[in-house]
Amino acid sequence: MLELMFITNDPLLAHDVCAAGVSRIFVDWEIIGKAERQGHLDTVQSKHSFEDAVAVRRAIPSSELLVRLNPFGNHTGDEVEMAVSAGADLVMLPMFHSHEEVKALSEMLAGRAKIVPLFETALSLGEVDEVCGISGVYEIYVGLNDLHLALNSGFMFDPLAGGLLDPISAAALSNKLRFGFGGIARVDEGDIPGKMVLGEHVRLRSSSVILSRTFFREGDSQTPREVFTKEIAKLKKEWSRQQQLPSSEMDANAAIFVEKVHEVSSSISGANYD
């Protein structure tokens, strides 16, 4: 089953969504350069702290805690020690350009937590094979928000529709590593409906995805646990259904996904895909 992640620094919410079926909570320390890159987008820009990670860890003793660091730099060693001290099971490295950065992180961690390199720069795409061979790398993850900006494309799902994730998935799976990408909305919501994005996760044999913040909205009449329980059940049912589809139907759905992405992207940027 697809492993579901959710970004939050709220211990109570973390506990409730894990009770509803989320298996990994994502505490986000990344701030360096993020506002400059994504300030014009409606994206989540967290300002989570070491104390947040500690509190979330206590709230989810049976679930995984992932901490996203800042991009590699002189501060990375200190952040690694903080993440390990907070009880992180996994450490994510964003915005890396070379496998040497991932290798240096591996040496700092020395097996104390698993590594999730976040592929979201143009240069990182050429480093996949080298990264897959680094000790401690557990999962290859592709961040579509920053990647599409790095590639000067108009829409978050353009790299996925363009086939750029296919060789990354293949490299991860051939090295017996987990693979995941992007975020997903509720099954029937989003510019690209969640069920269509889910089809790409099935096709690429993805094993993890971040749940969109839209899974719970202020003003919902139900509690977060009730909402997540209901929506995750829908997601799992759709995942199971699509897993059983013949390859011909998966291919047809992939073609529809590409067409829909081009349609949305064109409406945003006026891009021509002829």
β-strand pairing of 178-184 with 24-28: unpaired
Give the pLDDT confidence score for residue 274 in this predicted structure. 35
In order of their start, the domains of the chain are 3-269 (3.20.20.60)
| Closest of 63, 56, 79, 179 to residue 128, by C-alpha | 179
Give the pLDDT confidence score for residue 258 in this predicted structure. 97
Q: In the structure encoding, which two tokens stand for residue 200, read together?
A: 């790409």
Give the pLDDT confidence score for residue 44 in this predicted structure. 60
The pTM of the full predicted model, rounded to 2 decimals, is: 0.92
111 Ramachandran zone, left/alpha/beta (phi>0; psi -120 to 50): left
Nearest-angstrom CA–CA distance, 49 and 31: 11
Nearest-angstrom CA–CA distance, 60 and 39: 31
Give the pLDDT confidence score for residue 41 in this predicted structure. 47
* pLDDT by 10-residue block (mean), the chain, 274 residues: 94 97 97 63 70 98 98 97 98 98 98 98 98 98 96 95 98 98 94 96 97 83 92 96 96 97 85 39
Nearest-angstrom CA–CA distance, 10 and 12: 6
Q: Are 95 and 33 in contact (CB under 8 A)?
A: yes
Q: Are 31 and 234 in contact (CB under 8 A)?
A: no
First-last CA distance in the chain: 37
DSSP state of 116: E
| Closest of 240, 235, 219, 223 to residue 17, by C-alpha | 223
Give the pLDDT confidence score for residue 269 in this predicted structure. 64
Give the pLDDT confidence score for residue 35 in this predicted structure. 54
